[in-house]
Amino acid sequence: MAAVPATDSAETLYAAARAWRDDDPDPTTRSELESLLASAESGDEAARADLADRFVGMLEFGTAGLRGALGAGPNRMNRSVVIRAAAGLTAYLKQEGRAGERPCVVIGFDARYNSDVFARDTAGVVVAAGGRALLLPQPLPTPVLAFAIRHLGADAGVMVTASHNPPQDNGYKVYLGDGSQIVPPADADIARHIAAVEHVADVPRAHEGWETLGERLLSDYLDAVVTVVDPSSPRDLSIVHTSLHGVGHGTVHEAFIRAGFAAPVAVDEQAVPDPDFPTVAFPNPEEKGAIDLALARAREVRCDLVIANDPDADRCAAAILDPATGDWRMLRGDEVGALLGAHLVARGVERRDVFANSIVSSRLLAAIARAAGIRHEETLTGFKWISRVEGLRYGYEEALGYCVAPDLVRDKDGVSAALLLAELAAGLKAQGRTLSDLLDDLAAEHGVHATDSFAVRVEDLGQIDTLMGRLRAEPPSSVAGIDVVRLDDLSRGDGGLPPTDGLRFLLSDDSRVIVRPSGTEPKVKVYLEVIEPVHTRDDLSRSRALAETRLASVRADVERLTAL
């Protein structure tokens, strides 16, 4: 069924809404659409605008799969959209697979609203199409699903999750048999199969016949994930952990116990999965205030380290006691990325090993790799790219995603990253040192790499095109008084990367600015980095202060340049 552009007539919009309603297998969203349609037809302009937004187009299937607000209509997450997606994926797998073989899909889900329903719908479509569907036994972290794909020899995996998005959202993340998220051209091929579905009623669905996996899978994942730490390394470490109302609590705690650490101290108010995320404004550890309860708990129990996972536990945040202030501060994703990279180097790397991070992440990891004599690769944003780097030993992106064991999970994994960070902190503690001391070491050796980011949120997606178009048509010749010496238009593939919408400005003092639209939210994201040399260890405080001053100047000017 074709979605109706918002510019079409009211009657065309209403006809499309009626057709979608009549084809909707879910009585809840069918009733929702019926009520909205009645209000719109009676002259309610707000209802008509809402209806038009729901039918502005089909929720786009891309390299992140699907993600959007729950609700009725083609531009929302609902059973009709999910069934179409499952049918398209299964058709793609049958087309790409060997003749006569049943495609096997392993399916996971988190604890968000309708995640279990969407997972069962997917299983029913796969089974009815002659495939084999393996359903995870309970809401579990995304890394468990990513692990299961190769562990079970599946042809694809589906994880029903919206990760760190707001409570009203859900999503549908697709992996292929290599355990990595889909990339072009597979995403476009699957999208074409989805578009070929005329009516949901035409999609065969089984109501039984899939296999619900037992507890053995989670145990296998845990047995595998604890191998990221050295059995002989120190374990004396006290940790506070929060899962932010997501599904990571049980898995993380069991992983720490199996690895020989003391069980983390839980933030009880956030330990039980809750799709409303009642104690946080936004269930993303990056957001201001999200880990306040964890920090308060840390002050009570006087622990060594705070670890936070996002709701599907594929990201890992950390906080440390800052010696400069005597209070806790959250580490930036780039700081954790550098710490883990340095730790892996110290444990031993081989010349064939490769470190990688996304273009929006700090260049400090590249410096660490260079000093260690190993190759470093820069990729587009997202683990769908990072995980595919040939010879990858370690990869990260600044948005709290770390792949520390690509032979186990070819995606970001907040559980294994937490274990590795804890091993590093425990080893430093045994030496009378801290993570803050190691950050000082890295700055003294490679220079202060100060990073920052901000987002320009939009009400109308057209504003994103306007902003990006303006920066392309009238690029600044300088930023904060520093000359722009190179402009990479990433949409043209500048820099040798696959084309993507984004701009990278390199300044004469080695500062860097990257502007790109978000792939999952209505906003433009801006990433900043300055590098300040450190001539002697005694210069470290001065160099940090200079770097922060330069960074603040760059940010102020870029905020002006990106204002709507």
Record the tokens describing residue 488, joined without a space. Answer: 């990479």
Q: Which residues are catalytic?
A: 163
The number of beta carbons lying within 10 Å of the beta carbon of residue 400 is: 28
User: Is 499 within 8 Å of 493 (Cβ atoms)?
Assistant: yes
Closest of 180, 169, 172 to residue 66, by C-alpha: 172
In 295-390, the DSSP E strands lie at 305-309, 316-321, 328-330, 354-358, 375-379
Q: What phi, psi does 196 have (nearest 5°)?
A: -75, -10
Closest of 81, 85, 76, 75 to residue 107, by C-alpha: 85
With residue 554 as reference, give the H or E element that holds it: helix 540-561
The number of beta carbons lying within 10 Å of the beta carbon of residue 381 is: 25
| Dihedral angle over CA of 162, 164, 169, 171, nearest 10 | -10
DSSP string, 224-280: HHGGGS-TTS-----EEEE-TTSS-HHHHHHHHHHTTPPPPEE-GGGTS--TT-TT-
Cα separation of 421 and 339, whole Å?
A: 8
- Please identify which residue in the block is written with the tokens 């992140």: 64
| Dihedral angle over CA of 526, 58, 193, 133, nearest 10 | 80
Cα separation of 276 and 460, whole Å?
A: 26
Cα separation of 564 and 556, whole Å?
A: 15
With residue 126 as reference, give the H or E element that holds it: helix 115-128
With residue 513 as reference, give the H or E element that holds it: strand 512-517
Record the tokens describing residue 90, joined without a space. Answer: 């299964």
Give the pairing of strands 512-517 and 354-358: unpaired
The DSSP symbol for 538 reads G
- Please identify which residue in the block is written with the tokens 């191998």: 227
